[in-house]
Structure 1
Amino acid sequence: MVGMRDVAKKAGVSLSTVSLVVNGTGYVSDDMRSRVTEAMRELNYIPNELARNLYRDRTNMIGVIVPTIRHPFFATLTAALQREFSARGLHTMLCSTADTDAGEAEYVDMLRRHMMDGIVMAAHTAHPVDYWTSIGRPVIAFDRYLGPGIPSIGSDHEQGGHMLADLLIRSGARHVVMVGGPRSQFHDLAAGGADTVGAGVHDTTFPTVRYYLTLERELTAAGVRYDYIEAGEVGDFEGYAIAVHRLFEWFGGVGDGRGEDTVDAIVSSDIGASYAVQEALRCGLRIPKDVQIVAYDGTYMADTAGVHLTVIRQDFEALAAAIAVRMTGLIEGESNGVCADGDSCVDLVPVSLLPGDSTK
């Protein structure tokens, strides 16, 4: 097997010079670099990637932890992340907490033992904030709040809530029903007090709930009635189907124009909105004349709903790029990747409204 000593002999240089060229460290003259490169080519020498990474204290491996890869949102996100990390010479190790026995603790242990260069945490965690802040190696929260000093990247969900409210109010909606995750997620940190919450800045580990809260606030101000139906955890597809079916049962006046219970607008994730389309068509309702349906996410699921859905689209490419830039900064020790103690360090990516045939 050809080794660096063979390359050094062939190129007529020292072993340390070959090491500098292979590892990309230190100064080597253009002439020396050319001689080493040519010798490597002639000898068909392939550098030992593992040894090189150990030398640099790098693995070029990023752990990405999501609730479930079955969900179209996380499938789309991880695909975008893999492209972004790959373009930067980084590999992705995926952990789907609901689909395997391995949870975030195993990945954190790998990070502590320098078996990975960083973690993107996109799943819910029951660990306290000091668990994440004590790791001492790169961790980025996606659409989560893990604690002060931990960077968080996600969509601007308050902007999304404003867009939803403006759309529904202008269309003349009178009764809006939202279908989403457990309401307990809206203030899941509130019981911990100001120290845990971060001096009142955060009262939830789920920033996504802010589009619901913003929508509710603006609907109230406009005098528009709204209700919220819980559909279970993010990976509970059956829960969304049941919740949407109950919506049409409980509010028997969906789309019929009679009485105060008449529901004329439904807001949910792409999955919930797709189920709502199925139920509406099953009931013989016209979309959007009888009932408007708005999806929040903008994944491929929205394109398979049966009608051209109006969506609030999250920019997956921009989200993945923001995560990759922040992660590489943390790995390289650059100041643009580091958050000051107590800094919420939140990067928000704008969302966009894509009109469709499911709203007026």
Structure 2
Amino acid sequence: MEMAAVTIKDVAKRAGVTVTTVSRVLNNRGYISEATREKVYRAMKELNYQPNEIARSLLRRRTNILGIILPTVAHPFFSELAFFIEYYAYEYGYKVMLCNSQLDQKKEKEYVEMLRANQVDGIIMASHTLEVDEYLSLKLPLVTFDRQIAPDIPFVSSDNYLGGTLATNLLIDRGCRKIAHICGNLRLNMLANQRNRAFVATAQARKVEYVTVETDLNVFDMRQYDTLVLRLFEEHPDVEGIFAGSDVIAASVIKICHQRKKRIPEDIKVVGYDDVSIASFLTPQLTTIRQPIEDMGRLAVELIHKQINKEAVTVENVLPVTLVERETT
């Protein structure tokens, strides 16, 4: 004869409390004294009661799942960012669904629809493919990375303008008379474009020659970087300093310099951006602008969590960057 499944009523009876009280304990809602909480937990343990996660999420009208949309997790910056988002999401009691948009509009749209269908509690969006209307129409808690899509939707970025200024000034201070910035495609409406504005403004103010080299629209396709660096050296053989838009681009610069017998830092000085873990593994070790990736991931989760709980949030969240000088300058 099969045992009847233990219900929330059985737990309430065993603990000597109401069904509402048990429900509050399960859903962490309202004030419950520690003694009552202990009684309910003890009753659940004695009866081996397993709360139904689906029933609980329906009760709360929440799934405790967050969607993350990234351009590609293969890029070290986004893999590190995803790691910290997942880590802090879990600390807050959320699981994550990870989606790579790969700059494919159709794919990103399908992912957005999937997240909507799965009734995620919120979305952290670090891609820049879809028109913003797709996201605004979701009516879900939303946080964007390095991109401001509406006056009331919070975004997280680092201080891109300061980063560009620090990198450019360092190259000039180290004696470079002609400098280049290899950056993402400036047609994309990203806050990272401010790095190039800072590069140009600083180079002009300090009266050095400068050139900007942009990636194609698929900014994080790492296969194109070698070609861009080679083209820069072909067209501007007299360049003495390079500000790379990421540490991965800087790694490509170091490799091509090695192939072309250009010495770093004697012939060419290089500054990267991000300070992902590879920066200190390269030879020579890379001078770079450090983005506080862990803080950015933690803050994104905190902003989503606050919105889910109907708490006020700050819209503009710009975190400080720091110059980490190593061997390439």
Paired with 1:164 and 1:12, the residues of 2 have a C-alpha distance of: 66
Alignment of 1:173 with 2:176, yes or no, is: yes
- The number of equivalent residue pairs is 323
Q: Which moved more, 1:16-25 or 1:142-151?
A: 16-25
Paired with 2:130 and 2:173, the residues of 1 have a C-alpha distance of: 40
1:229 alignment partner, SS class: strand
Deviation at 1:103, TM superposition (A): 3.4
Aligned residue identity for 1:152? F
Unaligned residue ranges in structure 2 (runs of 5+):
none
Q: Which residue of 2 aligns with 1:248?
A: 233
Alignment of 1:183 with 2:186, yes or no, is: yes
1:313 aligned to which of 268, 277, 290: 290
Q: Which moved more, 1:34-43 or 1:131-140?
A: 131-140
Q: Is this contact kept in 1: 2:105–2:130, CA < 8 A?
A: no
Distance 1:357 1:32, change over 3 A: closer
Q: Is this contact kept in 2: 1:293–1:310, CA < 8 A?
A: yes
Q: Is this contact kept in 2: 1:111–1:137, CA < 8 A?
A: no
2:98 aligned to which of 90, 94, 99: 94
Deviations 1:75-102 (A, max 9, x none): 0111011111111111111100129997
Identity of aligned residues (%): 37
Paired with 1:50 and 1:357, the residues of 2 have a C-alpha distance of: 54
Deviation at 1:20, TM superposition (A): 2.2
Distance 1:93 1:250, change over 3 A: same
Deviation at 1:29, TM superposition (A): 4.5
Aligned residue identity for 1:307? P
Deviation at 1:4, TM superposition (A): 1.5
Paired with 2:34 and 2:221, the residues of 1 have a C-alpha distance of: 58
Q: Which moved more, 1:152-161 or 1:34-43?
A: 34-43
Deviation at 1:31, TM superposition (A): 4.1
Deviation at 1:180, TM superposition (A): 1.9
2:89 aligned to which of 49, 62, 85: 85
Distance 1:184 1:21, change over 3 A: closer
Q: Which residue of 2 aligns with 1:346?
A: 316
1:275 aligned to which of 240, 252, 264: 252
Q: Which residue of 2 aligns with 1:358?
A: 328
Paired with 2:214 and 2:105, the residues of 1 have a C-alpha distance of: 27
Q: Is this contact kept in 1: 2:122–2:304, CA < 8 A?
A: yes
Q: Which moved more, 1:155-164 or 1:46-55?
A: 46-55
1:147 aligned to which of 147, 150, 154: 150
1:184 alignment partner, SS class: coil
Alignment of 1:223 with 2:226, yes or no, is: no
Q: Is this contact kept in 2: 1:156–1:350, CA < 8 A?
A: yes
* TM-score between the two structures when normalised by the length of structure 1: 0.84
Distance 1:168 1:38, change over 3 A: same
Paired with 2:170 and 2:91, the residues of 1 have a C-alpha distance of: 38
Paired with 1:231 and 1:125, the residues of 2 have a C-alpha distance of: 15
Deviations 1:128-160 (A, max 9, x none): x44433332211111112122211111110110
Distance 1:331 1:102, change over 3 A: farther
Alignment of 1:71 with 2:75, yes or no, is: yes
Q: CA RMSD in A?
A: 2.1
Paired with 1:99 and 1:161, the residues of 2 have a C-alpha distance of: 25
Paired with 1:157 and 1:297, the residues of 2 have a C-alpha distance of: 11
Q: Which residue of 1 aligns with 2:29?
A: 25
Paired with 2:152 and 2:173, the residues of 1 have a C-alpha distance of: 40
* TM-score between the two structures when normalised by the length of structure 2: 0.91
1:266 alignment partner, SS class: strand
Distance 1:86 1:307, change over 3 A: same
Q: Which residue of 2 aligns with 1:196?
A: none
Unaligned residue ranges in structure 1 (runs of 5+):
186-204, 254-261, 338-344
Q: Is this contact kept in 2: 1:95–1:102, CA < 8 A?
A: no
Paired with 1:348 and 1:23, the residues of 2 have a C-alpha distance of: 34
2:328 alignment partner, SS class: coil
| 1:280-299 superposed matches below 5 A | 280-299=257-276
